[in-house]
Structure 1
Amino acid sequence: MATATLAARVAQLEKTVATLVKKQEPGRLRKSKKLKAMAQAPLPGLPKDFLQPRQPGRDDWMTVVGMFDGDEVMKRIIERGASIRRAESRKARRG
């Protein structure tokens, strides 16, 4: 396999992974006693209710406002989303 191209090696790896996933017993991890015990045991140094969901606070949204200001990746994501919306809008108008 040393002479195989990268594309061929990746294709073979994907095929192998797909085969392994098909053989995987559904829910096997959920049935594991060890994993259940780990999920129930509190993590050292954390409060016992750390993993429990909580009700959102009234002002929680304020902590995320401006989180991505000046972030170049986020700017590109926003620009791409706007261009997609404009294209879909033009397409809808044309019928």
Structure 2
Amino acid sequence: MNATADKTAAELERKVSERLAGLPDVDASHIEPHAEGTKVILEGSVDTVFSARKAVLSAETVDGVHDVESHLTLTGSKDRPSAGH
């Protein structure tokens, strides 16, 4: 990668990290985004499959991201029924 591509990748990673940190009900402290061009790879762990889906969907909404690949692992229960639903 050249310096411009490195800067662009770092900027995308920063934007995705900020977006993930703002998600309610998702502990993004164990998610690390890695940008390769316009593709972002999410690595790390989340507690539920819903958290993983929220993380992917959120990353897809960041300007400049055209594809998101999830390498997230689950640490807790996959499907917890939410109260009242």
Query: How high is the TM-score relative to the length of structure 2?
Result: 0.27
Indicate the structure (1 or 2) with the bigger Cα radius of gyration.
1
Q: Does 1 or 2 have the higher relative contact order (CA < 8 Å, sep 6+)?
A: 2
Which structure carries more strand by proportion?
Answer: 2
